Amino acid sequence: MKRSTLNVTFAIGFLAVAMGILVARANPATTYESSVYMATPAVVWVGFALALAIAVSTALTCRGREQGYGVALGATTVTAIVSLPAIRNYRFSGMGDALSHLGWTRDIVNGEMGPHELFYPGFHAIASVLYHVGGIPIERGLMLTVAIVFVPFLVFIPLVVREIAGDGMAIGIAAIVSWMVLPINNIATHMGIHTNSNALFLVPVVVFAFVAYLNRRATIERLPFGLSPFSLLIYLTGIGLLLVHPQQMINVVVLLGAISVAQYLARTRYDDHPMLDHPTTYAHTAVLGIIFSVWAVSNERFRNAAEGLIAGIFEEDVGGGAEVDQRESSLEEVGGSLGELFVTMFLDLAVVSLIVGLFILLVWLGRSTVDSETKSFVNYLSIALIPLTGMFVLYFVGTPTMAFRQIGFIAVILTILAGVALARAIGALSNVITVPAGTAVAALLLGACLILGLMTVYASPIIYSPSQHVTDHQFSGYESALEYGDEDTPLVGYGTDPYRYDHAINGVEGEENLGAATTASGSVEPDEFESGNYSGAYNGVGYNFVVTEYDTTRELDVYQELHHSEAALEAIEYDDDADKIISNDEFRMYDVSGEQ
C-alpha distances (whole Å) from 584 to each of 127, 282, 547, 564 are 30, 60, 11, 22
Q: How many CB atoms lie within 10 A of CB 512?
A: 11
Asked whether the beta carbons of 130 and 144 are under 8 A apart, the reply is yes
**361: DSSP letter:** H
Q: Are residues 269 and 319 in the same domain?
A: yes
Same domain assignment for residues 87 and 219: yes
Residues 6+ apart with CB under 8 A from 511: 103, 499, 502, 503
The pLDDT of residue 323: 52
Residue 569 · residue 552 · CB < 8 Å: yes
Average pLDDT over residues 236-257: 94
Residues 6+ apart with CB under 8 A from 495: 523, 524, 551, 554, 555, 563, 564
List b or e across 14-25, with b for residues whose CB sees 16 or more CB atoms inside 10 angstroms: bebbebbbebbe
Element (H, E) at 546: strand 543-548
For the chain, percent of residues with pLDDT exceeding 70 = 90
Q: Are strands 92-93 and 469-470 parallel, antiparallel or unpaired?
A: antiparallel
* Boundary-marking domain end, from 463, 497, 519: 463
Instruction: Find out whether 196 and 94 touch, Cβ atoms under 8 Å.
Output: no
How confident is the model at residue 516, as a pLDDT? 44
**Measured distance CA(573)–CA(545) in Å, rounded:** 12
Average pLDDT on 432-445 reads 90
Measure Cα distances from 443 to 102, 114, 450 in Å: 40, 49, 10
Measured at the CA of 93, the angle between CA 249 and CA 125, to 5 degrees, comes to 45
Q: Which amino acid is at 440?
A: A
> Is the sign of the CA dihedral 26, 32, 37, 38 positive or negative?
negative
Backbone angles phi, psi at 591, to 5 degrees: -90, 110
Mean pLDDT, the chain, as a whole number? 89
Q: What is the pLDDT of residue 519?
A: 46
CA 413 remoteness from chain centre: 15
Structure confidence at residue 301 as a pLDDT band (50, 70, 90): low
Q: Which of 395, 430, 463 is the last residue of a domain?
A: 463
Same domain? 407 vs 514: no
Q: φ, ψ for residue 30 (rounded to 5)?
A: -110, -20
* Average pLDDT estimate for 224-249: 86
Condensed to tens digits (0 to 9), the pLDDT of residues 340-355 reads 888 889 999 999 999 9
Mean pLDDT, range 219-236, rounded to an integer: 72
The answer on 379 and 328 residing in a single domain is: yes
Q: Does one domain contain both 136 and 261? A: yes
Residues 397 and 256 in one domain: yes
Kindly state whether residues 446 and 347 are assigned to the same domain. Answer: yes
Q: What is the 3-state secondary structure (H, E, C) of 11-58?
A: HHHHHHHHHHHHHHHHCCCCCCCCCHHHHCCHHHHHHHHHHHHHHHHH
Bigger pLDDT: 478 or 223? 478
Q: How far is CA 513 from CA 110, 119, 486, in A?
A: 19, 23, 10
Say yes or no: 478 and 537 in one domain.
Answer: yes
pLDDT digits (tens, 9 = 90+) for 26-70: 999 999 999 999 999 999 999 999 999 999 999 999 998 999 999
Per-residue H/E/C for 175-238 = HHHHHCCCCCCCCCCCCCCCHHHHHHCCHHHHHHHHHHHHHHCCCCCCCHHHCCHHHHHHHHHH
Gap between the terminal Cα atoms of the chain: 80
Q: Judge if 428 and 489 occupy the same domain.
A: no
Q: Point out the domain boundary residue: 421, 447, 463.
A: 463
Based on the fold, state whether residues 427 and 498 are members of the same structural domain. no
Of the pLDDT bands very low, low, confident and very high (cuts 50, 70, 90), residue 422 is very high
127 shares its domain with 36: yes
- What pLDDT was estimated at residue 317? 52
Domain limits for position 172:
3-463
Distance CA 36, CA 555 (A): 19
What would the pLDDT profile of 582-591 be if each residue is shown by its tens digit? 999 999 999 9
d(CA 388, CA 405): 11
CB 258 within 8 A of CB 384: yes
Assess whether pLDDT exceeds 70 at residue 512. Answer: no
Instruction: Give the residue among 348, 349, 420, 407 at the shortest CA–CA distance from 380.
Output: 420
Number of domains observed in the structure of the chain: 2
Q: Are 104 and 131 contacting, i.e. CB atoms less than 8 angstroms apart?
A: no
Q: Note the pLDDT tens digit of each residue in 198-213.
A: 999 999 999 999 999 9
pLDDT at 218: 52
The answer to pTM > 0.85 is yes
Neighbours of 361 (CB within 10 A): 12
DSSP 553: I
Cα gap 253→512, rounded to integer Å: 37
Phi, then psi, of 15 in degrees rounded to 5: -65, -40
Are residues 455 and 476 part of one domain? no
